[in-house]
A and B are shown apart, each in its own frame.
Chain A
Amino acid sequence: MKKYITAGALAVMGAIAPQIASAQSATVQQIVERGTMLCSGHNGSYFGFVEVNDQNEWKGLDIDLCRALTTAILGDPDANQIVPLSWAQRFPALQSGDVDVIIKATGWTMGRDTELGLQFSLPYFFGGTQFMAHGDLGITDATGLEGGTVCVEAGTTIERLAANYMTTIGVEHTMVSYESQAELRSAYLANRCDAFAGWGPNLAVLRATELDNPDAHIILSDQLSSEPISAAMRQGDDGFVDTVNWMLASLLIAEEEGITSANVEEMAATPPNPRVARLLGAEPGMGERLGLRDTWAKEMIAAVGNFAEIYDRNLGKDSPYGLERGLNSLWNEGGVLYAPILD
């Protein structure tokens, strides 16, 4: 039965596909009719990604990407509504239409992509397992941990990754497991471990906020793993996936071309090359193909800045966390972030 429905749906889609190609996606149409974009927030705070400032407004990397998307679709960065969601609730909330998109430090996994019926965007962030060590050891990478003690949280993927990695690079060490993050942290602070393993951004945040003297600790340069963090959408609306992907791509292209929130007007008036002209809507093409305005990328960059500005403001050098760009640099600066080709 299901097979016939699928076949039928495919046939129908085949028949109307050419018309859809140039039109707006159903989700975008819904957002425009509603006049507000529904984005995911958090039930509390997730350092750097989703926080609340002293004026009770949402901020963070994920919130800024929501604002960018809102500007792209509606032309106004504030025309969104942040729906507080718990981790467990985020996917059902997306499926039931409580939010239009999940931008919430969510990893792209096969299970989510297939069984949960989600569609993921280009990754906008790569986070992986790293080590943090006491600064007075005077080391910069894991080879310096020879003969030392490494602490991990018991039963996590991080424990397995750390053991694997240390075996691979052939560093003799003692591994000690702790039941909880809190125990792990206090063991580390009490000098019972030389280093401990965790999710990179979390380590950086911990170092910047909860340890008494951040400079006494160093995050080692080894990347044990790298997990892509993407925006998640409901399956079946390709147009909306395109919109989100090109929102992210435009932020990256803007960084690559040196377009910032400060100089975007100038760049749009006198574009240095055809790519910039196309991106900022000086030449047509950006809008029509997504069913948006030609100047949407220009408005978006004016409102929230390029990807570097967003990153630095929330996680990077202009934030209290000071997280290195590392893997999250552009491809031409040693990172893995790249935009598809803008033709």
Chain B
Amino acid sequence: MSIVNVAPPSKFDVARKTFIRNGFGSPLTTLISVIVIAGLAYIGWVLLDWGIFRAVWSEEDVSQCGGHAGACWSVIDARHRLILFGTYPFDEHWRSTLAAIAIVLTVVVSCQPVIWRAKRLAILWIAGFATYYLLMEGSLLGLPQVTTDGWGGLSLTLFLFAAVVLLGMPMGLGLALMRRSEMPVVRWFATILIDTVRSLPLVTTLFTAAVVVPLFLPSWLEGDKIWRVIIAFAMFFAAYQAEVFRGGFQAVSKGQFEAGRALGLSYWSILGRIVLPQVFRHALPSTVNMIVVTFKETAIVTIIGFFDILASGKAAYGTAVWAPYYIEVLVFVAAIYWVFIFLLGQYGEYLKGRMALAAH
């Protein structure tokens, strides 16, 4: 009697068989598959050849770059500190590095379900932003002062992004709740605010906050440009996010409120324990979308004179020696964007899986 393998085929096995059946089932599909695979392989080869095999890597070898067929990564070797930190003073880069790490940690910790209590989040965010500010500005810690004009690069992009999302998220939730309020004045206020902000282009909003506002505010009320811009950007984010939350609210049936009320729970208990967890679940895909878009939109601040990672990238190739190698710089900046946005997307997937479990 022969031994029959009754274990289910492995996932890889299934995938391989499906691939062969679908891709090479008939002469036509075989032909298409071969063309597609050959095309991809060719593109892959060209990129590898340009980016790695024929590339020049170190700053000292820049003389080999001229007329060379490969990438000239020397520009990154020489200018990566400019791309990452903008015009932040060279000797103080450790501060900018630590500050950026503090912001990334704040975001990562905020993403952990354990921390999702209003009080814990508030403490975390205040601590995170205070750390960033104290390190970057420096004078309160007895370090050389660096005003916000000197902040830049990846470090600034991360800070703007985190500040906008972390401020905008609660503001968006507040607006969504106000928009659902039974008090007409509150409801109208939220509606008008959301629709006004949404009908203005982001560029206009930021330009107004950065450039126009100081023309008519008294100087003691002006504050630093960076805060005005963050608040305006967060308002913009909140207006859109409020609509995302509203969609989430609409997906929760009215019966759940009524049931809660019948049990004698308070408004806040119903909201916090019954409704909001479901709202977040329904709103998750659009929220991740909003966050990703916001990360990329931070590049707009360059038109109001912030030295974000794209502006510092431009400055990196904006000098005679490095001018021909702008593609390398832009690829480097794109890779940085990709890493952060890919991680955000993966986190969204993780949350979806976790919430799907909770829904069962």
In the complex, what residue of chain B is closest to A84 when comparing beta carbons?
B305
Query: Quick one: CB contact mask for A31-66 with B, threshold 8 Å, 1 for yes?
Result: 000000000011111110001111111100000000
5 extra interface residue pairs, beta carbon distance < 8 Å, beyond A52-B312, A86-B304: A45-B318, A47-B323, A52-B319, A88-B303, A209-B323
Could you tell me the distance between the alpha carbons of A209 and B66 in the complex, rounded to whole angstroms?
11
Residue B249, interface by CB 8 Å: no
Question: Known contacts A43-B305, A98-B225: does B318 contact A52 (CB below 8 Å)?
Answer: yes
In the complex, chain A residues whose CB is within 8 Å of the CB of B219: 97
Residue A212, interface by CB 8 Å: yes
In the complex, chain A residues whose CB is within 8 Å of the CB of B245: none
Partner of B320, one of A41, A95, A97, A319: A319
Interface contact B318-A210, CB-CB below 8 Å:
no
In terms of DSSP, what is the predominant structure of the interface of chain A?
loop
Question: Known contacts A81-B147, A82-B87, A82-B149: does B319 contact A44 (CB below 8 Å)?
Answer: no
For the A-B complex, the count of residue pairs with Cβ-Cβ distances under 8 Å equals: 107
Chain A interface residue count, Cβ-Cβ cutoff 8 angstroms: 37
- Among listed B2-10, B17-25, B78-86, interface-contacting one: B78-86
Query: Quick one: CB contact mask for A195-213 with B, threshold 8 Å, 1 for yes?
Result: 0000000000100111010
In terms of DSSP, what is the predominant structure of the interface of chain B?
helix
Residue B211, interface by CB 8 Å: yes
Residue B187, interface by CB 8 Å: no
In the complex, chain B residues whose CB is within 8 Å of the CB of A44: 302, 311-312, 314-315, 318
Interface contact A86-B87, CB-CB below 8 Å:
no
Interface contact A86-B82, CB-CB below 8 Å:
no
**Distance from A43 Cβ to chain B, minimum over Cβ atoms (Å):** 5
Could you tell me the distance between the alpha carbons of A212 and B323 in the complex, rounded to whole angstroms?
11
Centre residue among B66, B212, B302, B305 by max chain A CB count within 10 A: B305
Residue B324, interface by CB 8 Å: yes
Interface contact A89-B320, CB-CB below 8 Å:
no
Question: Known contacts A56-B86, A82-B149, A321-B320: does B214 contact A45 (CB below 8 Å)?
Answer: no
In the complex, what residue of chain B is closest to A53 when comparing beta carbons?
B319
Residue B295, interface by CB 8 Å: no
Interface contact A56-B90, CB-CB below 8 Å:
yes
Query: Quick one: CB contact mask for B186-228 with A, threshold 8 Å, 1 for yes?
Result: 0000000000000000000001001110110001000001000
Within 8 A of B (CB), among A89-134: 89, 92-93, 95-98
Residue A224, interface by CB 8 Å: no
Interface contact A86-B303, CB-CB below 8 Å:
yes
Interface contact B149-A95, CB-CB below 8 Å:
no
Question: Known contacts A84-B305, A86-B303, A88-B303: does B87 contact A43 (CB below 8 Å)?
Answer: no
